[in-house]
Structure formats: structure tokens, C-alpha cells
Structure 1
Amino acid sequence: MVGQPVVAAGSPLGLSATITAGVVSALNRYVDVGQGEEPAALINAVQTDAAVNPGNSGGPLADCAGRQVGVNSAGAQTPDGGGGSIGLNFAIPIDFAVSVADQLIKNGRAEHPVLGVLSVTVTDEMARSTGLPRGAYVEQVLPGLGAARGGLRAGDVITQVGDVAVTSTDQLLVAVQAHRPGDTVQVGFQRAGAPQRAGVTVATPG
């Protein structure tokens, strides 16, 4: 819950058994943590202002009752890379972490759902110039996956997944990752100016 007090535990900079305190600042964040040419992102991340520095990663983010709510993973830094924690820190939600761990133990691999589209964000500028709604503009529908089977086409603008509004590709990823492979979700989209909906079964790629 946003505003909930939390503590982050770990060994920042080699200082073992360190605790920092803060609150849950936001939920369901998409955070790009890739370096160089290696893409990587946190999906559905918990944002907190409890300090997370190198050495905190993998440690627990817990509430005041000692219940773990996340796994510390990343912290934003100033553009020059200095200054330590600036109060923008992120953790993997515990439910997601447990789900992945259970799959790895049971199957040796973890499966993550995809909709089956390649999309770009309809920015404010693009919306003004084209009349499109804010959302995820579908550039390509991948054959054989849920979006294709549900009837989505290139040129559609996805604006909702289930009950979650979508105004960017990042939000689309977050909304899809809230489901499990095999779930069927209602996808709202606009086609040629008309709002439409379709049931789409999310699946694993490949």
C-alpha cells in the first residue's frame, strides 16, 4: 500500500546488517535497469524512499510487522552517478519473487506472459498531431500468440488491459505481467477511431 512504512535490510558498501527506513512511494513501476547493450527491466516494481545502495540488492524490504513485501533490487542515481541514494529506490514485489522461485524449483525455468505485439508509446505530441489516443500503438502483431488470435492488428492503439488503463508501452508491460500464462484478459483498443475490446489469452513466447 502506498504510504506504508517499510525498512530495507542489507550490507550496503560492505556494512553488514544495515537497516534503512522509508515508505512505499508507488507501486507497479516499470524501471529500466539495463546497462550498455544489455536490456533489462523491473516490472511491477515497488518504489520506496528507504535508501538502497550497492550491497542492498537481494535483501528484504519489509513492513513494520516484519513481513517481507519485496526484494531490494535497484536505486536511481544522479546523472553523474554520484551521491548515493536519492530516495528513488525499487524492489521486486514479494509475490512475483516467490512465483518465480517456485517455478525455478519445480521446472528449472520461469515463464512470463506476453501479449504478442510490438508497440510504441503514443506520446502527447503524437496524439495531438495524429488524433490517436494515448496508449500503446501496435506496430506489429506476432503470429501465433494471443494478440493475433484475439484479432488485434497493426495500427490498433491499446488503451486498457483488464481494469488497468494503458497510456504507454511501459504500462502495457506492467499490466500484462500482472497475469499468468494462460489467463484470458479483456484488452481495450482503438481502431480507426472506434473503441473496441477483445479477449486475449496471454502466453509464453516461443
Structure 2
Amino acid sequence: MLRVPPDAATLTPIAAGDSSALVIGQPVVAAGSPLGLNSTITAGVVSALNRYVDVGQGGRPSALVNAVQTDAAINPGNSGGPLVDCDGRQVGVNSAGAQVPGGGGGSIGLNFAIPMDFARSVADQIIRTGKVTHPSIGVLAVTVTDEMAQATGLPRGALVDQVLPAMGAARAGLREGDVLTGIGGTAVGSVDEMLVAVRGHGPGQPVEVAYVRDGQSQTASVPVTAI
């Protein structure tokens, strides 16, 4: 937790922007202290939206969901700094930059920020309750790749490997072996896309899940739960 004594400094908070209004190609600026170089900015555009990015290291799994992709350089020391639009409003929290496998450090133009709407919701939860929860439908799944689809005849989607007891999917009757192909009207072609689609729904909300079982397309209303 960060505490700043009110008489320690005169601080002007940054204006919060609306990350849901971002569009691909929109100019953005990343600010931070890469490699300890304070007050550095880098410019670029929004390259993509709603990315799922695995940022885990070693045995510590971690991921960014619904991340904003940008070619504005984000290097070590930028993390936690603001990604801002041309009006100076914060639309993301700089978080990670991709590197060429086996290559050196430095930005290669594939960088990611946590969207401001999500960051704000997490902060609000911590302030209100002291903890953070995330939406889930209660399944563990694997991606049906093109190769797997060709070999098995399964559709592209998220193949349910395990249904967690007492959670939404179990209550809605989903089973091991079902292939999830849509969440809330959004097509799902992988586990990453499933997680992104679920994240758009709050705990307690029912969401329509499209799936294929034994070659037959079906739908179910699945309650979203908090984990």
C-alpha cells in the first residue's frame, strides 16, 4: 500500500481515461523510468486490444488478460508507469515487453499494458474490501488447435479438461470433453479467448456459453462466480 503524507508534497493526480474507448492505431505515450532513467517517455500506437499474455516466470504462473498491446517501448523500469492518450489521460498501466527468445534485452515493439478500466476496478476492490476477486465459470481447459481439430474432428475452441465442483459450469451441466466455442456471444477459438471473454462479465451474472458435445451444438446459461 502506498501512503503519502498530505503535507509532504503538492501532487496533481493524473486524469483517468476510458480504456474501453481505445481503438487500434490510436497514438499513445508510455512514461516511466526505464533502466533508472527518470521521466522518460516513449511514443507509439495501440497495436491490438484484448490480448492474453503469459507473463509468468519459472513456477510462478501469471497472466495479463484483456491487455492493451502497443509499440511504445516498455522496458524494465517502465512497469507501473502510465500509458496515456493524446489528452494526457491514463488509459493503461505499463506492465510487460516481449523479447526475442534467446536474444538480448530491450523493446522489440511488442509491449503490453493493463487496461485502465480493469486497474481501476482492482483498486476499488482493494479499497472497499482489502482483497481482489476475478470472474470464472469454473473450468480448466486446453486449446483445440488446428492440428488437434484435424486429427480428432473437434471444433476449434476450449476443450474442457476439468469441471470444478460447485462452480458455475458444474451447476449448468457442462462436462469434461465439451468444447466451448462461445462466451456471451463472443466466439471462442482458444483458452486465451475464453478467459478474455469471461473477464468481461461480473461475478453473479449468468452468461450464455455455446459448446459442442458429441458433435452437437448446444448452449447453457452459466453463472459467473468469483475466485
TM-score (norm 1): 0.97
The residue aligned with 2:28 is: 6
Counterpart among 127, 134, 146 of residue 105 in structure 1: 127
Which of 203, 210, 218 pairs up with 1:181? 203
Deviations 1:102-161 (A, max 9, x none): 000000001101111111110111100111100000111111000011111111100000
Which AA in structure 2 matches 1:112? H
State the shift of 1:177 in Å.
1.1
Deviations along 1:40-64, one digit per CA (max 9) or x if unpaired, are 1101100000000011000000110
Aligned counterparts of 1:62 and 1:187: Cα–Cα separation in 2:
35
* Structure 1 segments of 4+ aligned residues over 6 angstroms from their partners: none
In structure 2, distance between residues paired with 1:180 and 1:99: 11
Counterpart for residue 28 of structure 1: 50
Letter in 2 for 1:76: A
* Partner Cα distance (2:40, 2:34) in 1: 7
Partner residue, 2:220: 198
**Higher-Rg member (1/2):** 2
Alpha-carbon distance between aligned partners in 1 of 2:104 and 2:186, rounded to the nearest angstrom: 36
Pairing 1:148-187 to 2, within 5 Å after superposition: 148-187=170-209
**Alignment match, 2:8:** none
Map of 1:132-151 to 2, 5 A cutoff? Answer: 132-151=154-173
Q: Structure 1: how far apart are the matches of 2:31 and 2:206?
A: 38
Q: CA deviation at 1:81?
A: 4.2
Structure 1's unaligned 5+ residue stretches are none
Which residue identity is paired with 1:134? Answer: R
3-state SS of 1:72 partner = strand
Alignment pair present for 1:19 and 2:41: yes
**Mapped partners of 1:50, 1:127: distance in 2:** 37
